[in-house]
């Protein structure tokens, strides 16, 4: 029960939480009737930066979700040009995070970071498809031990103003490892290797580091989903 309530806070949030708490103290001293606004905002800030542990499937070949949220798009698209992954469209899974989701992002598949690229851009609503092309983003190219590669792209949203990525080029990473965080609403796109079929459906909720979105070994056709 305590593990459910006392969730760790991501280090990227401590400064912001401290600023909200300081503002609340000032409000209490100079505008006491409005102190509840500061308390609510500080509590929400703590909630936003929560960083729970996850149980990640470790079988080789599995690709897990990089973000908590709703699977917004399952389609094909060309990976960001700055990753030099060619111009062929690949299967893509896009997960949209609202401001109430956990925003700590996770590595989708074990391998080596072959490329890291940051591109400044605009701040369209992350739920819009044009966000993948025009918004600020931080992209990773991951090469697996089997030689396959995939891209993981953190995309800023309408109110997001900072993408934090904690991994570096040539680093060896594990499936489910913490990768970074985006403040505040945002999206993460995964570009799968050609021929790999996504195993999630539009509208499905994903859990970072736990939900399997694809399997290198699977021959299963694309899944359809229904709201029930």
Q: For residue range 56-72, what is the model confidence (pLDDT) as tens digits?
A: 999 999 999 999 999 99
Over 80: is that where the pLDDT of 157 sits?
A: no
Over 80: is that where the pLDDT of 74 sits?
A: yes
Which of the listed ranges 1-10, 13-22, 105-114, 217-226 does the model predict with the highest average pLDDT?
A: 105-114
CB distance 213 to 106 below 8 Å = no
Q: Output the pLDDT for position 124.
A: 66
CB distance 203 to 127 below 8 Å = no
Q: Output the pLDDT for position 8.
A: 87
Q: Which of 110, 132, 139, 186 does the annotation list as catalytic?
A: 186
Instruction: Give the orientation angle of helix 35-48 with respect to helix 14-30, to 10 degrees.
Output: 170
| Global confidence as pTM | 0.88
How do residues 184-193 score in pLDDT, each as one tens digit? Answer: 768 899 999 9
In DSSP terms, 135 is beta-bridged to 122
* Active site annotation includes 127: no
What residues contact 152, with CB distance under 8 A and at least 6 apart? 66, 105, 107, 108, 139, 140, 142, 179, 188, 189, 190, 191
Q: Output the pLDDT for position 7.
A: 79
In DSSP terms, 140 is beta-bridged to 116, 152
Q: Output the pLDDT for position 152.
A: 96
- CATH code of the domain occupying 62-215: 2.70.70
Q: Output the pLDDT for position 180.
A: 92
State mean pLDDT over 85-94.
95
What's the rounded Cα separation, in Å, for the pair 171 and 101? 27
Q: Output the pLDDT for position 33.
A: 83
């Amino acid at each position: 029960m305590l593990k459910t309530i006392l969730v760790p806070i991501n280090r990227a949030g401590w400064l912001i939480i401290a600023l909200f708490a300081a503002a609340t103290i000032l409000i209490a001293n100079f505008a006491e009737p409005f102190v509840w606004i500061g308390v609510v905002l500080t509590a929400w800030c703590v909630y936003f930066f929560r960083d729970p542990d996850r149980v990640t499937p470790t079988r080789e070949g599995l690709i897990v979700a990089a973000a908590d949220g709703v699977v917004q798009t399952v389609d094909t698209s060309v990976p960001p040009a700055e990753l030099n992954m060619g111009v062929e469209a690949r299967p893509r899974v896009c997960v949209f995070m609202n401001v109430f989701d956990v925003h700590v992002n996770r590595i989708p598949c074990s391998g080596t970071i072959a490329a890291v690229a940051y591109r400044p851009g605009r701040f369209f609503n992350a739920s819009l498809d044009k966000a993948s092309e025009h918004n600020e983003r931080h992209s990773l190219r991951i090469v697996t031990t089997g030689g396959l590669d995939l891209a993981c792209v953190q995309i800023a949203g309408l109110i997001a103003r900072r993408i934090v990525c904690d991994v570096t080029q040539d680093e060896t990473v594990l499936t489910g490892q913490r990768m970074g965080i985006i403040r505040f609403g945002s999206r993460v796109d995964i570009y799968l290797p050609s021929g790999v079929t996504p195993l999630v459906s539009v509208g499905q909720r994903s859990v970072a580091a736990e939900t399997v979105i694809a399997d290198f070994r699977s021959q299963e056709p694309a899944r359809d989903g229904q709201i029930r």
